[in-house]
Amino acid sequence: MKRIAIVAISLGVFTIDWFLRAIRSLTGRKTSAAPIFLAYHSVSSENRGAFARQMDKLARHSQSRDGAVAQTSNGRHACVTFDDGFQNIVENALPELKQRGIPATVFVVSGVLGATPNWTDYSGGSDPEMAEPLLTAEQLRNLPSDLVEIGSHTVTHSLLPAVSEEQARTELAASRTRLEEITGKKVKLFSFPYGSANADLVKWCREAGYEQVFITYPRHDVAESKGVVARVKVDPGDWPLEFHLKLHGAYRWRNRWRDFLRWSVLAPR
């Protein structure tokens, strides 16, 4: 029921957006839309067909851009990103992206290359992704540079707001250094594990040399920071309507709702 309610609200947001765009068009005003950043994790062999259909839709409805695109842009753009760096991205996602000429950014956990995830799973159940192997150093080196950009996702996939400043800075800097050693290319993008960040962490990212940082479910004060890119979580198993709404930015209300709930809880009584 919760999923249906979220889709229903998002459909309302999409309808309002469509109506406002129509009014702007009729009055001769230009319309623009912020690019949508899609945050995937793994793409299993069972989900490859569903992922391919999503990429077909993306190719039809938007112009794909890489992960380093500016936060605002004329027209509609969608950017594909992957967190954690699972091997099945190479096996199942990249062939579909290459076929359609869609670039992507893969955010890699540098300290567990070639292993399976050893971090805390907060999904509340048995997540099959936790048994999936992660990319090896050799696989990272062999990724097509014209299609894939490598970003950092820390050394150990730590929940950064919960660790000390010293540990957080080490996670940020050491992961970038290790990935640059492996690939021989500059790593300028960073994605926060669990999508969780605060203003201090964003500042430390800049000091570590990252040009853009990516989050999901952002706090308003973090999302408004320069160089911070908010993403929407996507799964190949999403309903077609869900994916359509996410691709058109209709899920952005969820971040504002979370901000309201956070303020309601923390506000003084």
Sequence ranges of the domains in the chain: 1-31, 33-239
Q: What topology does CATH give the domain 33-239?
A: TIM Barrel (3.20.20)
In this structure, which long-range contacts are made by residues 202-209, counting pairs with CB atoms below 8 Å and at least 24 apart in sequence?
A: 202/227, 202/228, 204/165, 204/168, 204/169, 204/172, 205/172, 207/169, 208/169, 208/172, 208/173, 208/176, 209/173, 209/176
Say how far residue 266 (Cα) sits from the centre of its chain: 27
Confidence at residue 73, expressed as pLDDT on a 0 to 100 scale: 43
Confidence at residue 74, expressed as pLDDT on a 0 to 100 scale: 45
State what percent of residues in the chain have pLDDT above 70. 83
To which residue do tokens 């999923």 refer?
A: 3
Residue pair 81/39 in contact (Cβ under 8 Å)? The answer is: yes
3-state class (DSSP) for residue 190: strand
DSSP state at residue 137 = H
Residue pair 101/125 in contact (Cβ under 8 Å)? The answer is: no
Tens digits of residue pLDDT in 204-259:
999 999 999 998 865 555 655 677 888 999 999 999 999 999 998 898 887 665 55
Instruction: Enumerate the β-bridge partners of residue 74.
Output: 32
What's the pTM value of the predicted model, to 2 decimals? 0.89
Confidence at residue 91, expressed as pLDDT on a 0 to 100 scale: 95
E strand or H helix that includes residue 27:
none
